[in-house]
Structure 1
């Protein structure tokens, strides 16, 4: 039987390879498959599961294996404990709640959204942040929206990451810091730039370009803002060929361009937030 020390060494090497390959499970799974039978929790079933799971899930699995190898804990017991925790947590809101939001029954959905957000559900945090950034049902608050959007970027409740939310949240944080003029909100333009670039890196779509243009305008770079905004409008038109885009989005994008042509940044206030909100439309 391979000693715990050698097992830990092998797992450490796998950690290093996975980090270099950006936690690509397609690379990690074959490596895990080569581990000796001394670690019984690496069954064919768990390997199939790992192939379909996200990088955070893979990190947690490797963490459990490392503990088992180094400290001699039962891998099966550790896996069972992890499964129980994962079953009680989620980063997706229930279908019934999502339906309420789709039907624009925001007041009816709010109590459950608030409760799930308190449980660190990524999707619920994002939706509640949208309530505050749009000023719908709850008072308009850039500070509360900012905190919730940032919290929704990563999983922190032990459940698998919600990739769609992690991808969308940076753009909303950048937009807030570029456009919000609410008294008491502390704008951080460097934060806006960093998250706008992150949003562009993750998904170079029309809304990411719109945000990038807003950040450039806030920095006084109106020529760049106009260029990015024209690109955003073009991309929005392309998106509309494949999916339904709110008519208000086209109106807003054109208003943003008009503002930049006049040397004015886009500004969102309590009076204008709800009218231009694409996250929770009327």
Structure 2
């Protein structure tokens, strides 16, 4: 009844309710009431994002996240440049709740925020939005100095799914400190994708499984070749060809007697991939 009564007051009631967001005793009731005002509340809250009090900007961003209205997208994106980390974090969370893929690029930028909490919130949001533009930045975030950011980046990559496999394998094909830094997280991501995405994208799931087993030592070369033979005509062959190149290098380190059969089979498979 109180909310219905407030609605009849229109704009003055919205202004009062937004101020009430700062009052611990009335915060929840004010948020519930603001939902009833819909468009009017969104517009007023977007204005509040520019308020001189950081607490008001913070509460306004949180409220817009609860309202989940697309009209708030651009104002919330601008919030990611706020001077207060609390406000930036609330902005990231609000963009996650709105769920519009237009937020992917700004959230990628937020992965470089100076505050750990903003970065891990951004990683979480990007996983939920499943934007492929976020894949390489999320892989880079696997080397973040903060463990929560690394974990959230890995979880986000798993959520994005099969499209992650090729760029992640490309990263693991690199040499040096970056490969070492991402190795454990990358293996976990590939393993999860290989089991979760068999129905969605069996070809990439199989490649993820084969590469994961090679990296963890579960496959010997003899065991790996039959699996790769099944993938030899896979249309996404660039990463597979790199895998063959890596195998070829590994086999050159062994004696000729040990790898005669494998080299013959590998040569046949490599020839079949020359069209890639």
- TM superposition score category, shorter chain reference: 0.3 to 0.5
**TM-score normalised by length of structure 1:** 0.37
Higher helix proportion: 2
Higher RCO by CA contacts (8 Å cutoff, separation 6 or greater): 1
TM (norm. structure 2) is: 0.38
